[in-house]
Amino acid sequence: MTTLNHSAGSSAMTLLTAVFTPFRPDGGLDLDVVGDQADALAAWGTRGVYVGGTAGEGASMTTAERMALLERWCEVAAGRFDVIAHIGHTSLAEARDLAAHARDAGVQAISAVPPYFHRPPDAAAVADFFARVTQAAPDVPFIYYHIPGVTGVTVPASEVLTAARDRIPTFAGIKFAHDDLADLQRCLELADDRYELYVGSARLLLATMGIGARAAIGSAYNFAAPVFLRMIEHVERGELREARACQFLAQSAIDTAVAFGGELAGFKAAANLVGPDCGPCRPPLRSPGPAQVAELRDRLDALGLLAVAPSR
């Protein structure tokens, strides 16, 4: 099994990007854009991409679409950065099919949210479900995706980690998209350098670095990566005042984007302004209209985000 080492580098924090899925105006997949996305991300040095997750609207796509999207990402990422495939599904059989396909496509890891309609009641149920899913990809590292605000599965991630390490041979870590820093700290202590812990909230990146986090996966890095990279450099030099200023600037950019459609539609609109145009979100999400996009552009420009965008 491949060993993930995103926390083992010399940097104080390693950034991976939860990528948006490019859709045409009619809602169809636009796979031609994926190559441009990869080029833009490689330009600032992302260590990997997380495909088909929350930002990628995987739950709004068919299994066939998810597979086609992943295949394209594996093609364009080869030799440049890692690919983590989100294979979560409410159906065990579909999740297993997605896992097996991801293995065959050549991903470095698979990841999944727990079932979010008929929810697992405790950590053992979460781990047992994914033990069955990961049998379909027995040599691929598995990362549990903890995002209770979306799934409604509120089992603490630290409890899932404890259960998973004994039940899932390929268990490799957790993507932690929650604001419970005490639970994250427990996860870091339990992981003890054996498992990866990915911070899933860019809003809390600086705070999580303070308790030992070394890797992150997020969609804000599609449009605000230069600011976060500067912040990390300041931390490495011990310049905490400057690091806090960068986190504040990034937070302002995040809040600005959220005002134009929330953390998915707003973030995607912001990313479209600083990088390749990935089109609208799928219903029921509502993308901002032309007037709103123009206002968003002005506000991001006032923050300096467009001037430092790597692919503008």
Whole-angstrom Cα distance, residue 61 to residue 63?
7
Q: 140 in helix, strand or coil?
A: coil
Is 50 an active-site residue? no
Whole-angstrom Cα distance, residue 123 to residue 157?
8
Kindly give the interhelix angle for 181-191 and 157-167, rounded to the nearest 10 degrees. 30
Please pick, among 50, 116, 144, 175, the residue that the annotation labels catalytic. Answer: 175
Q: Which residues have a Cβ under 8 Å from the Cβ of 237 and sit 6 or more positions away?
A: none
Please pick, among 50, 144, 145, 195, the residue that the annotation labels catalytic. Answer: 145
Whole-angstrom Cα distance, residue 293 to residue 207?
31
Instruction: Give 4's DSSP letter.
Output: P
Whole-angstrom Cα distance, residue 181 to residue 164?
20
Whole-angstrom Cα distance, residue 98 to residue 41?
25
Answer yes or no: is 110 a known binding residue: no
Peptide bond into 25 cis (omega under 30): no
Provide the residue type at 259 as one letter.
A
Is 198 an active-site residue? no
Check if the beta carbon of residue 12 is closer than 8 Å to that of residue 214: yes
Give binding residues as ranges. Answer: 217
Residues with active-site annotation: 145, 175
Give binding residues for pyruvate as ranges. Answer: 217
